[in-house]
Amino acid sequence: MRTRTLLLLAVTCGLAILLAGGIQLLRIANQDQTQALGKGDKGVAGDAVIVVDDFTESDGVLTVTVTLSGVDDPKGIADFTLVGVPKPVDAVQASEAADTCTGFTVQATTCTITFPTDGFTTKDRQLLFIRAEEQVRWRLV
């Protein structure tokens, strides 16, 4: 091959890379930035609607009071995770309390979800709910 042909191929490849980078930059710029919600804010993920009404922490246990609605799913509580340092934790079944969440229903239901926090080293907490490839998070401070 001649030098001129190689130079033209190199310039063409460079322009193709530049064009692809510009398209990716436009895609990233148009993405929605999700902000962490707070107490009283409504979050929607998939067909589930969640409102964090209140939360308390004592003796290494965080109890979150939520209002759940939108879908019938008896195992929907498994989609909740409490994120803290050093690692996220899943909900635990509280001691036979009458207000413990057992699942989602179409009609709004207020109940509590309990998480162990005795291994956490900071006071920062986020409640994470993931459903149908969508996620919602609440900052619990």
37 in helix, strand or coil? strand
Question: How many domains would you assign to the chain?
Answer: 2
Mean pLDDT per 10-residue segment, the chain (141 residues): 89 93 81 77 91 92 92 89 90 76 90 90 90 89 79
Looking at the structure, tell me whether residues 54 and 4 fall in a common domain. no
- State the pTM of this model: 0.72
With beta carbons less than 8 A apart as the criterion, state whether 127 and 43 touch.
no
Looking at the structure, tell me whether residues 63 and 118 fall in a common domain. yes
The domain in which residue 56 lies consists of 42-140
Looking at the structure, tell me whether residues 82 and 22 fall in a common domain. no
Looking at the structure, tell me whether residues 21 and 46 fall in a common domain. no
Looking at the structure, tell me whether residues 105 and 130 fall in a common domain. yes
Looking at the structure, tell me whether residues 107 and 79 fall in a common domain. yes
Residue at token pair 């509280």: 94
- pLDDT per position as a tens digit, 34-64: 678 889 999 999 899 999 999 999 888 999 9
Distances (CA, A) of 112 to 13, 97, 103, 121: 58, 9, 11, 24
Predicted confidence at residue 80, as pLDDT, reads 92
Looking at the structure, tell me whether residues 23 and 75 fall in a common domain. no
